[in-house]
Structure 1
Amino acid sequence: MCEWVNRIEYSLWTQHCDEGRRFGHMTKNISECMNSILKGVRNFPVCSLVKATYGRDNSEFTVAETTLTDSFSLGSYRVSLASQTCDCGYFQALHFPCPHALACCAYSWLTWEPYVHQLYRLNSVFSVYRMGFTPPISEGFWPPYDGPTVIPVPNKRRAREGRPTSTRIRTNMDEADPNRPKRCGLCRQPGHTRRSCPQLRGAEHTRGHD
């Protein structure tokens, strides 16, 4: 029996030599193929049979169609493998496939490696170390180091003499009234200052008698 089968051309009865013409089917009985496709809808109306046939045919030729268009609609995201773009923005921003692009590659039986940018490849990483590096000079040729040099900011320095400069933002309430008479800081009476206050003189006189 084996000798008789081997005399037949392999492309007529073997799957590995059919050159893709039989799409993985092992039977030549076309009616059995149709029965397997329409098994669940054979008792439905004609419209249902046509819809089931169209859906099965579309699934068989998905690879051929996606190879020509390279465009997919995955839920709310549109992926274009040809332009390497996705509505999520990661594909074109990071230059390697996003999860949506990976799902499209898996659905169409395509490898994801061609869609990874060349900069992420190992040969690009190794090429960085091909450049020459200038070695540092020996420690004996280093300039002397006496510690850090502290240079204060002039605007932050505090004056040693006199009152510090006020940084408060003044308003109309801070403006002095030129017609308002000055009062003594001790007795709060107008006409004299704290140094010439009569109360200060009286206190010094009483202290002298003591």
Structure 2
Amino acid sequence: MTTNISECINAVMKGCRNLPIMALVKSIYFRLGELFARKGSEALAQLQVGAKFSQALMKAIEFNSKHINTMNVYQFDRSRTNFTIKELAAVPGSKQQNYQVLLDEDKCDCGYFQALHIPCHHMLAACSHARLDWKRFVHPVYRMESVFNVYKSEFRPIGHEDD
């Protein structure tokens, strides 16, 4: 998480190094203003076409869905919330063969879901087996309304210094 934040800050600061403080602040302000305008327009366009979730989430779900056919799912309760997933083939990034998925506690042994709040391939396999909709396990931050609300704020132009 720290690495991602520092990379974001470095991206904003690129080309601003060794500037006087006032010039540095103005540069960051204008870059953020442009970023919010661009991202806000993209989010609005996604909302207008009826997208429910962010594109980043949908790409992650598509990637994670590729491997659910290579898993055996064992259900351990009548309420369809406790599963053991056995991987039959090696899945990139996996360290072990068996994972416990607890849907009612939003947990998977792989840790992916707890870290990113995006259903991992084990959770998707459990949802598919139990005929549950994976969308109910997605954190609200990935909904397009939430993304749009982040970029809803607008930056005001900075007037002349003498005003």
Higher helix share: 2
Q: Which has the larger radius of gyration?
A: 1
**TM-score bucket of the superposed structures, by smaller chain:** 0.3 to 0.5
TM-score normalised by L of structure 1: 0.34
Q: Which has the higher contact order (CA 8 A, sep 6+)?
A: 2
